[in-house]
Structure 1
Amino acid sequence: MDVVGKFGRILIPMSTAFAADYSIDYPMTRRIASYLISKNYCDSLVIAGTNGEFYSMSFEEKVRLFAEVKQEVGERVPLIAGTGTANTHETIELTKEAARLGYDAAMVVVPYYCHPTQEGIYYHFSQICKNTDLPIMVYNIPLFTASNIDPSTLAKLTEFENIVAVKDEAGINPLQTSAFLKATEGKIVVYSGDDLMVLSVMSQGGIGVISGGSHVIGDMMRNLIEEFLSGDATKATGSFKELYSLFSAFFGRNRRLVNPLPAVKKAFALHSGLDVARVRPPLMEIEEDEVAVLKDTLRKFGKIS
Structure 2
Amino acid sequence: MDIVKKFGRILLPMITPFNEDFSVNYEIARKVASYLVEKNYCDTLIVAGTTGEFHSISFEERVKLFEEIKDEVGDKVPLIAGTGAVTTKETIELTKEAEKLGYDAAMIVVPYYCHPTQEGIYQHFKEIAKKTSLPLIIYNIPLFVNMSIAPETVGRLSEIDNIVAVKDEAGLNPLQTSEFIKKSKGRLSVYSGDDVMVLQVLSQGGVGVVSGGAHVVGDIIRDMIDSFLTGKTERSIKLFQLLYDVFKSFFGISDTRVNPTPGVKMALEIESGLPVSRTRLPLLTYSEEDRNFIKEILEKARKAYSELE
TM-score normalised by L of structure 2: 0.96
Q: Counterparts of 1:148-297 in structure 2 under 5 Å?
A: 148-297=148-297
Q: Letter of the 2:275 partner, please give it.
A: D
Partner of 1:115: 115
Check conservation: 1:84, 1:107, Cα contact below 8 A. Answer: yes
Indicate whether 1:4 and 2:4 are aligned: yes
Q: Counterparts of 1:31-42 in structure 2 under 5 Å?
A: 31-42=31-42
TM-score normalised by L of structure 1: 0.98
Q: Letter of the 1:113 partner, please give it.
A: Y
Give 1:233 deviation, angstroms. Answer: 1.4
Partner of 2:127: 127
**Distance in 2 between residues matched to 1:110 and 1:60, nearest whole Å:** 21
Check conservation: 2:246, 2:301, Cα contact below 8 A. Answer: no
Report SS of the residue matched to 1:167: strand
Report SS of the residue matched to 1:137: strand
Give 1:42 deviation, angstroms. Answer: 0.5
Report SS of the residue matched to 1:55: helix
Partner of 1:30: 30
Report SS of the residue matched to 1:166: strand
Give 1:208 deviation, angstroms. Answer: 0.4
The percentage of counterpart residues that share the same residue type is 58
Q: Letter of the 1:276 partner, please give it.
A: V
Give 1:253 deviation, angstroms. Answer: 2.4
Give 1:184 deviation, angstroms. Answer: 0.5
Q: Counterparts of 1:9-158 in structure 2 under 5 Å?
A: 9-158=9-158
**Distance in 1 between residues matched to 2:257 and 2:244, nearest whole Å:** 16
Structure 1 unaligned regions, length at least 5: none
Q: Letter of the 2:37 partner, please give it.
A: I
Report SS of the residue matched to 2:171: coil
CA-to-partner distance for each residue in 1:80-133, whole Å, 9 max, x for gaps? 000000110000011000000000000000000111100100010000000000
Give 1:257 deviation, angstroms. Answer: 4.6
Check conservation: 1:84, 1:111, Cα contact below 8 A. Answer: yes
CA RMSD in angstroms comes to 0.9
CA-to-partner distance for each residue in 1:117-163, whole Å, 9 max, x for gaps? 00100010000000000000000000001121000001101121101
Check conservation: 1:111, 1:147, Cα contact below 8 A. Answer: no
Check conservation: 1:216, 1:267, Cα contact below 8 A. Answer: yes
**Distance in 1 between residues matched to 2:292 and 2:268, nearest whole Å:** 14
